[in-house]
Amino acid sequence: MMPEAVLKKAAAEMLDYEGSGQSVMEMSHRSKTYQSIIDGCSALLREVMQIPDNYEILFLQGGASTQFAMIPLNLATKTGKVDYVLTGQWAKKAAAEAKLLLGEENVNIVASSADKTFSYIPELDKSKFNPTADYFYICMNNTIYGTKFPEIPDTGDVPLVADISSMALSQPLPVEKFGILYAGAQKNMGPAGLTVVIIRKDLISENVRPGTPTMLRFKTHADNGSMYNTPPCYSIYMCKLVLEWIKNEIGGLDKMYELNQQKAKLFYDYLDSSKMFKGTVEKGSRSLMNIPFVTGSDELDAKFVKESTAAGFVNLKGHRTVGGMRASIYNAMPIEGVEKLIAFMKEFEANN
Ligand X SMILES: *Cc1c(COP(=O)(O)O)cnc(C)c1O
Annotated catalytic sites, by residue? 90, 163, 187
Nearest CB to ligand X, comparing residues 95 and 345: 95
CB of 242 to ligand X, least distance (A): 16
Nearest CB to ligand X, comparing residues 51 and 164: 164
Rg of the Cα trace of the chain?
A: 21
CB of 289 to ligand X, least distance (A): 9
Q: Give the span between the Cα atoms of 120 and 116, in whole angstroms.
A: 8
Q: Can you say how many angstroms the Cα of residue 252 is from the centroid of all Cα atoms in its chain?
A: 18
Which residue ranges make up the site for ligand X (CB under 6 A)?
63-65, 90, 139, 143, 163, 165-166, 184, 187
With H, G, I as helix, E, B as strand and everything else as coil, classify residue 60: strand
Q: Give the span between the Cα atoms of 195 and 221, in whole angstroms.
A: 12
User: Strand 195-200 vs strand 55-60: parallel, antiparallel, or unpaired?
Assistant: antiparallel
Nearest CB to ligand X, comparing residues 165 and 226: 165
C-beta of residue 330 within 8 angstroms of C-beta of residue 187: yes
Give the CA-trace dihedral at 191, 43, 166, 348, to 10 degrees. Answer: -70
CB of 333 to ligand X, least distance (A): 16
Q: Which of 153, 156, 152, 183 is nearest to 169 (CA)?
A: 183
- CB-based burial of residue 293 (10 Å sphere; 0-12 exposed, 13-18 middle, 19+ buried)? buried
Q: Give the span between the Cα atoms of 269 and 291, in whole angstroms.
A: 12
Nearest CB to ligand X, comparing residues 27 and 70: 70
CB of 183 to ligand X, least distance (A): 8
Nearest CB to ligand X, comparing residues 68 and 304: 68
Residue 153's alpha-carbon distances to 10, 178, 306, in angstroms, are 39, 10, 40
Nearest CB to ligand X, comparing residues 27 and 181: 181
Q: Give the span between the Cα atoms of 203 and 224, in whole angstroms.
A: 16
CB of 235 to ligand X, least distance (A): 11
Residues 247, 251, 254: CA angle, nearest 5 degrees: 105
CB of 240 to ligand X, least distance (A): 19
